[in-house]
Amino acid sequence: MTRRFSRRNFLNRAALAAGAPIFQIKPLRGVDFLLQNSPTPRKFLIETMPGGVALFDYNNDGLLDLFLVNGGKITEALHVPENFARSDARYWNRLYRQNRDGSFTDVTQSAGLANAGNGNYGMGVAVGDYDNDGLPDLFVTNYGRNTLYHNNGDGTFTDVTAKAGVAGGGWSVSAGFFDFDNDGHLDLFVTRYMDWDSDHNKICGGDWHTYCPPGTFPATTCLLYRNRGDGTFEDVSVPAGITAKKHRALGVAFADYDGDGFTDIFVSNDGMQQFLFHNNGNGTFTEVGLEAGVAFTADGKGLSGMGAVFQDYDNDGKPDIIATVLPREIYPLYHNDGGGLFTYQSLEAGLGSITSMSSGWGVGLEDFDNDGWKDLFVGQGHVLDNVQQIDASLSYKEVPLLAMNHQGRFERADSGVATPLSARGVAFGDINNDGWMDTVISTLGGPPVLLLNRGGENHWLSIKLRGTRSNRDGYGAVVHVNGQTRFATSAGSYLCANDKRLHFGLGSASKATVEVIWPSGETQVLKDVAADQFLEVAEPERL
Amino acid sequence: MGWFFFLWLAGQGGSPDALQHVRAGLEARKQRQVDTEIAEFRKATEIDPHLADAFVNLGAAFMEKRDYGAAIAPLKRALELSPDLPVAHQLLGYALLSQGYSAEALPHLQKVSALEAAGIAQLDTGQYPEAVASFTAVLAQRPDDPDLLYYLGHSSGLLSKSAIDTLLAKHPDSARAHQALAENYYVLRQMPQAETEFKEALRLRPELPGLHLELGQVYANSAQWPKAEEEFRAETKLQPGNGEAAYRLGSALLQQGKPQEALDALKRSNEVKPDMPETLYSLGKAASLTGDAPTAEKSWLRVVELEKDTSLAAQSHFGLAALYRKQGKTPQAQKEMQEFQKLQSTIGPPRSQ
């Protein structure tokens, strides 16, 4: 694909030259979605936690489509068994198909995605082609029963939850597809927050009347499903060792941190230590957060972990971890030192100054200026809707954090969002296929916010993997391009599924060397790859 | 109130009838028949209205019955008849104090050096410095008394408030008045107002020690680290011997990812105010970040020498574990991690601020 030179590009470049922010807020034409979190005076904790965003191409037309997870209706009279009125169209999740002109069309009903079940309050979404048919499927997490939607390839989805055996239960939050046993079939990990229901809700803060901290409620465990390859999954949470320790999990991100060829799992927990599940390669995991150095801050303090990203921020080829947390904690950055060890490096990376007063949720490491270094973007906003009354130095709504990566050190930049948001989920992708990464943010009680990248002069490369022996999406592959590394996944952030294409900024380089290490173990090298294109790389078939 | 049983006639004369009733009253007291006691002493005072001891005992009987209001009149009469009777002063002081007549009670209590009660009366009458002095004196005898500790804290707070009120009333435009206002805003977490007042204080008296330090903490509280650094640096110039200023400067530098500069400031802090655990912990952290493992180890080991069961000790064990782990000293790392986990289980996990 050649680089487009249009009036829009020219104007964007002129704006950037004049010091304009990288992003500009653009209306999502055709999207009339409002995230119905339904806050009540009873301060049900679920109200402040949704909602998910997925950027994925469900109809394989080359354009990213948008799936938005809705909350549900909550009234003060809510009691077990809860009814969230999800059959009411106001509380549906929504699928919007992107049209060629950049507008969107609501196809929820025709796609068979209306009515997520009255007993479910929506949380997040994961995207993966679990049956390797070349079509991305959807997994929606809820407080209640989770739902797996199989993509039929004709613009419709079928709820296959019961057949697949992945309904789970309780309070599920973030989820992600990954292939933990490298058998070519995507497995599924689901974080669960706590053991909670509306009959056991509590109100905290005395006269302030606030949502309660997580420690008020009993901890729970996460779910790991192994894909049998026949359209069904087996709950292997217990034998795999995932349930050995209870937790209050919100975020999940995947990467092979120790280079042993098996994808590991980082789980961000709220109000306690963070977990790193090392994949033992035999179907089991060992939680090694403390030993690996990612459980606490450098001061041995617990964190209010929410979102998480597991990518290489300093271009040393090893995946690092950034989680989002509450104010006065500083977003932890765990640098992967190799040998299975991490070091807390938030301060050295510049996050001390720019994150210590913020509440972070969705998070991504993407190269927004295509200079070859992954920048940091975080959707922000406090958990408590009355926090400003309690502490005037904090805010319920915040502008997102955009921090540009200058060779491993982050510096705050203007995100282009002047009006503070109560942001939660943030999904990343190149929505307009211009080679510059964009983002969509979900906001409590509000519409999603689209931030379009103004673009610039640098070169880029976008890689779509097509696994053959490995899973079709290529999740778990390690891709090196001109000294940069990405770990193929659409998971991470908070509640969201990102564009699965792997984006690389190339700076002034017009060519690239691409090395793909597939989950199957196959290594593939492509030399002299032209910049500024969407490249599909297919895994070589077995000889 | 055991002393009631030991009240006895002071030896002065009286009518035999009256004295007989007094003796009967004292007998009733031994039998704990307080109503009989009151009746007998009352008869004695009616028969001989000049018998001071009869009035004292009548007052004491009312006190025993917890009828403090009724005790006041006979005790006052006793002091009219015998102005130096210590027991009467003491009982009247307590009776008046219990009825809220603190100003009237005070001289009686002072007369018999009933310092705790006098302190309460002084507190009630706005004599805060005197109240602080009274409570401090009694605390020297009973250092763990919860009531005394409460009253000393309370009176000190009121003394402080009173001084600030006077300052604001008499010198509203002074640097100290702005400083006081700023400190109040800081406590209330109203940082923009605190910043404004500290800046005004600094404008008026830029040389005043402590102002830059306090303004720096305002900035630190809202994570404005470059500004905090500037203020802490100014304080260290103004007061090179102030260990806290150097420590705060080091912390601000650490927050900004400037470990080498932080290390210098924290070393300086440790020189001028050695063995401050907070400084030593941060010194270890800065040293660790700059790759100065020996200094990091030495600093953290010193913290765990100084502090046994605190979160700083736990954090130092955690830091040491990470340090040894990086050095490949697995047994030491495991030992320190065990110490960290042990402290976590006893004092609770260290929480972010």
Q: Whose structure tokens read 């009312």?
A: B62
Residue B4 burial (CB count, 10 A): 18
Chain B residues within an 8 Å CB radius of A347 = 254-257, 259, 289
Under DSSP, is residue B304 helix (H, G, I), strand (E, B) or coil?
helix
pLDDT computed for residue B15 by the predictor: 87
- The alpha carbon of residue A210 is apart from the nearest alpha carbon of chain B, in Å, by 19
Residue type, B28: A
Ranges of beta strands (E only) in B210-284 are: none
Residue B77 burial (CB count, 10 A): 21
CA A149 to chain centre: 19
Under DSSP, is residue A311 helix (H, G, I), strand (E, B) or coil?
strand
- For residue B71, with 0-12 CB atoms within 10 Å meaning exposed, 13-18 middle and 19 or more buried, which class applies? buried
pLDDT computed for residue B353 by the predictor: 40
Query: In chain B, how many H helices and how many E strands?
Result: 19, 0
Residue type, A146: N
Nearest to B255 among A298, A347, A349 (CB): A347
Chain B residues within an 8 Å CB radius of A410 = none
Contact yes or no for A302 and B340 at CB 8 A: no
Name the DSSP letter for residue A38.
Answer: -
Q: How far is CA A459 from CA A479, A482, A501, A537, in A?
A: 18, 12, 16, 19
Contact yes or no for A293 and B352 at CB 8 A: no
CB-side exposure of A65: number of CA atoms within 13 Å? 23
Searching chain A, which residue's CA lies closest to the CA of residue B351?
A301
d(CA A339, CA A362): 29
d(CA A491, CA A475): 9
Contact yes or no for B318 and A300 at CB 8 A: yes
d(CA B219, CA B5): 64
Chain A residues within an 8 Å CB radius of B338 = none
Chain A residues within an 8 Å CB radius of B192 = 392
Find the angle CA(A37)-CA(A41)-CA(A46) to the nearest 5 degrees: 35
Best CA proximity match to A474, nearest among A424, A524, A426, A414: A524
Contact yes or no for A349 and B257 at CB 8 A: yes
Chain A residues within an 8 Å CB radius of B282 = none
- The alpha carbon of residue A407 is apart from the nearest alpha carbon of chain B, in Å, by 14
d(CA A346, CA A362): 18
Contact yes or no for B322 and A298 at CB 8 A: yes
- The alpha carbon of residue B255 is apart from the nearest alpha carbon of chain A, in Å, by 5
pLDDT computed for residue A392 by the predictor: 81
Which contiguous run of DSSP H or E holds residue A480? strand A478-481
Residue type, B47: I
Contact yes or no for A329 and B289 at CB 8 A: no
- For residue A316, with 0-12 CB atoms within 10 Å meaning exposed, 13-18 middle and 19 or more buried, which class applies? middle
Q: Whose structure tokens read 């079928």?
A: A158
Nearest to B223 among A290, A353, A392 (CB): A353
Searching chain A, which residue's CA lies closest to the CA of residue B254?
A347
Nearest to B318 among A299, A392, A409 (CB): A299
Chain B residues within an 8 Å CB radius of A352 = 225, 254-257
Q: Please write down the HEC assignment for all residues of B183-207.
A: HHHHHCCCHHHHHHHHHHHHHHCCC
Chain B residues within an 8 Å CB radius of A409 = 257
Residues A224 and A240 sit within 8 Å (Cβ to Cβ): yes
Contact yes or no for B257 and A272 at CB 8 A: no
In degrees and rounded to multiples of 5, residue A251 shows phi and psi of -115, 160
d(CA A23, CA A379): 14
d(CA A108, CA A264): 34
d(CA A326, CA A394): 10
d(CA A167, CA A147): 6
Contact yes or no for B351 and A357 at CB 8 A: no
In degrees and rounded to multiples of 5, residue A133 shows phi and psi of -100, 10
Chain A residues within an 8 Å CB radius of B254 = 347, 352
Contact yes or no for A356 and B223 at CB 8 A: yes
pLDDT computed for residue B299 by the predictor: 98
- The alpha carbon of residue B265 is apart from the nearest alpha carbon of chain A, in Å, by 17
- The alpha carbon of residue A255 is apart from the nearest alpha carbon of chain B, in Å, by 22
d(CA A351, CA A232): 43
Rg (chain A; Cα; Å): 21
Q: What is the mean pLDDT of chain B?
A: 93
Q: Whose structure tokens read 């613009």?
A: A155
Contact yes or no for B326 and A337 at CB 8 A: yes
Nearest to A341 among B288, B319, B325 (CB): B325
pLDDT computed for residue B2 by the predictor: 41
Per-residue pLDDT of chain B (353 residues; tens, 9 = 90+): 344 444 544 445 678 999 999 999 999 999 999 999 999 999 999 999 999 999 999 999 999 999 999 999 999 999 999 999 999 999 999 999 999 999 999 999 999 999 999 999 999 999 999 999 999 999 999 999 999 999 999 999 999 999 999 999 999 999 999 999 999 999 988 899 999 999 999 999 999 999 999 999 999 988 899 999 999 999 999 999 999 999 999 999 999 999 999 999 999 999 999 999 999 999 999 999 999 999 999 999 999 999 988 999 999 999 999 999 989 999 999 999 999 999 988 876 555 44
d(CA B78, CA A136): 100
Angle of helix B175-187 versus helix B146-170 axis, rounded to 10: 130
Chain B residues within an 8 Å CB radius of A337 = 326
Contact yes or no for A348 and B259 at CB 8 A: yes
Nearest to A297 among B254, B256, B352 (CB): B352
d(CA B216, CA B232): 6
Handedness of CA A386, A392, A393, A398 (dihedral sign): positive
Name the DSSP letter for residue B71.
Answer: H
Nearest to A393 among B221, B337, B344 (CB): B221
pTM over 0.95: no
Complex prediction ipTM: 0.86
pLDDT computed for residue B7 by the predictor: 52
- What does the block give as tokens for B268? 């300086």
Nearest to B352 among A301, A350, A409 (CB): A301
Buried b (16+ CB within 10 A) or exposed e, A431-466: bbbbbbbbbbbbbbebbbbbbbbbbbebbbbbbbbe
pLDDT computed for residue A8 by the predictor: 57
Q: How far is CA B74 from CA A234, A275, B213, in A?
A: 91, 77, 60
Name the DSSP letter for residue A130.
Answer: T
Nearest to A348 among B191, B221, B257 (CB): B257
Nearest to B350 among A301, A392, A409 (CB): A301
Strands A157-159 and A523-530: unpaired
Chain A residues within an 8 Å CB radius of B285 = 298-299
Chain A residues within an 8 Å CB radius of B257 = 347-350, 352-353, 409
Question: Across the strands, what pairs with A350?
Answer: none
Chain B residues within an 8 Å CB radius of A353 = 223, 225-226, 255-257
CB pairs under 8 A between A and B: 87
The arrangement of strands across the sheet holding A484-487 comes to A484-487, A478-481, A511-517, A523-530
Give Cβ neighbours of residue B195 (< 8 Å, ≥ 6 apart): B182, B215, B218, B219
Chain A residues within an 8 Å CB radius of B256 = 347, 350, 352-353
Chain A residues within an 8 Å CB radius of B326 = 337, 341, 343
- The alpha carbon of residue B344 is apart from the nearest alpha carbon of chain A, in Å, by 10
Searching chain A, which residue's CA lies closest to the CA of residue B221?
A393
Best CA proximity match to A344, nearest among A357, A358, A333, A360: A333
Going from the first residue of chain A to its last (543 residues), give the mean pLDDT of each consecutive group of 10, the final group possibly shorter.
Answer: 50 65 96 97 95 98 98 93 96 98 98 95 98 98 98 98 97 98 98 95 90 93 98 98 96 98 98 97 97 95 96 98 95 97 94 93 98 98 91 91 97 95 98 98 98 97 97 98 98 98 98 98 97 98 69
Nearest to A299 among B223, B315, B337 (CB): B315
Best CA proximity match to A3, nearest among A367, A457, A511, A454: A457
Give Cβ neighbours of residue A232 (< 8 Å, ≥ 6 apart): A163, A164, A165
- The alpha carbon of residue B132 is apart from the nearest alpha carbon of chain A, in Å, by 33
Question: Across the strands, what pairs with A158?
Answer: A150
